[in-house]
């Protein structure tokens, strides 16, 4: 397993990485919320392992729970927030021509990141 990277909303661990894909295990702590963002060069697929939350994709709210999956096309605004008292854990599969952490355009962030 890879190194755990901390963020204000929780953490993630890269499980697999190649030039055209990346797989992460993402943990969003209770009350945590990722920034409203989009990616120009990759799409994402999220599969929820445990916990509950809400995924906002292209302005639509989607309830998240174990066993639920959702696709986020590239260039579509999205965010996820944990709406429960336990960790929200999901597997993220990124595919595209570039899967670097710098392929992110933020629109809103409760932690003040730009």
Q: Where are the domains of the chain?
A: 4-108
- Reported as a single tens digit per residue, the pLDDT across 87-107 is 999 999 999 999 999 999 999
Residues with Cβ within 8 Å of residue 100, at least 6 apart in sequence:
none
Of 16, 23, 51, 41, residue with least CA distance to 97:
41
- Reported as a single tens digit per residue, the pLDDT across 34-43 is 999 999 999 9
Top-tier CATH class for 4-108: mainly beta
- Reported as a single tens digit per residue, the pLDDT across 23-58 is 999 999 999 999 999 999 999 999 999 999 999 999
Residue in the block written with tokens 């996820």: 80
pLDDT for residue 110 is more than 70: yes
pLDDT at 47: 98
Alpha-carbon dihedral angle through residues 31, 37, 38, 41, given to the nearest 10 degrees: -90
């Amino acid at each position: 397993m890879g190194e755990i990277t901390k963020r204000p909303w929780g953490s993630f661990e890269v499980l697999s990485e190649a030039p055209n894909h990346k797989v992460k295990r993402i943990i969003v702590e209770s009350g945590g919320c990722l920034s409203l963002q989009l990616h120009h060069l990759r799409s994402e697929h999220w599969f929820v392992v445990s916990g509950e939350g809400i995924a906002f994709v292209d302005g639509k709210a989607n309830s998240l729970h174990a066993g639920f999956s959702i696709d986020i096309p590239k260039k579509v605004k999205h965010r996820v927030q944990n709406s429960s008292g336990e960790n929200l854990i999901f597997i993220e599969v990124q595919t595209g021509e570039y899967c670097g952490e710098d392929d992110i355009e933020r629109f809103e962030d409760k932690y003040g990141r730009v």
